[in-house]
Amino acid sequence: MKAPLYLPLLGLIVFTQTSFRKKSYTNLHYIGKYTYAVMVVKSKYELQVYDSTGEWLATYPVVFGNADIGDKMMQGDRRTPEGIFHITYKRKHEKWDSFMLIDYPTKDSYQKFNQRKAQGVIPSDAKIGGDIGIHGTWPHEDFAIDQYRNWTEGCISTKNKYIEELFAMLPVGTKVEIRR
């Protein structure tokens, strides 16, 4: 007896729509008490989420402000800062769905900034900048993430459905490491 043609197709659909992650934060019953860490790898255009034991939970595609993925030098350069930061504030955003502010500039950020000024790498009247965060895209423009279009002023942007997941998952205080 021949197997119906739809069985292999059904198997393919189930296979491609199944997550093979060891864990998913949506399956954790203790989310409110849980500590997470975020690693943003600019060269891979990825935001990775880890649990408190260091186990990888999820990876999200992201974009930045400038095609030059180097460290932020000064206000207006549209680069994303590198270093260790923390989420300091969260709010729903009228343009980008949700916004999670990070504590840039930090003491380390100021040290790098002042050193670059002293070396003449940036103008002496340059300002360090601020208001860097993780957020969604303009409505109906998630394609910017799929096409790796760097469009922000230095923030980290992901698809709106992903920022909603991250916004619900990550509490204020979450460590965010950004590296090249």
Instruction: Decide if pLDDT at 21 tops 50.
Output: no
Return the half-sphere exposure (C-beta side, CA atoms, 13 A cut-off) of residue 31: 15
In this structure, of 15-24, 136-145, 152-161, the range with the lowest mean pLDDT score is 15-24
pLDDT tens figures, 7-20: 444 444 434 333 33
Instruction: Write down the domain spans for the chain.
Output: 20-179
pLDDT tens figures, 23-33: 433 333 334 45
Query: What is the CATH code of the structural domain delimited by 20-179?
Result: 2.40.440.10
Cβ-based neighbours of 46, under 8 Å, separated by 6 or more: 40, 59, 60, 61, 62
Residue 102 carries which side chain, given as an amino acid letter? I
Q: Is the separation of the CB atoms in 56 and 50 below 8 Å? A: yes
Q: Is the separation of the CB atoms in 170 and 36 below 8 Å? A: yes
pTM score above 0.85: no
- 45: which 2 tokens? 């255009």
143/137 Cα distance (integer angstroms): 9
pLDDT tens figures, 32-88: 455 899 999 999 999 999 998 899 999 999 999 988 899 999 999 999 999 999 999
20/123 Cα distance (integer angstroms): 49
131/17 Cα distance (integer angstroms): 37
- Torsion sign over Cα 45, 81, 178, 171: negative
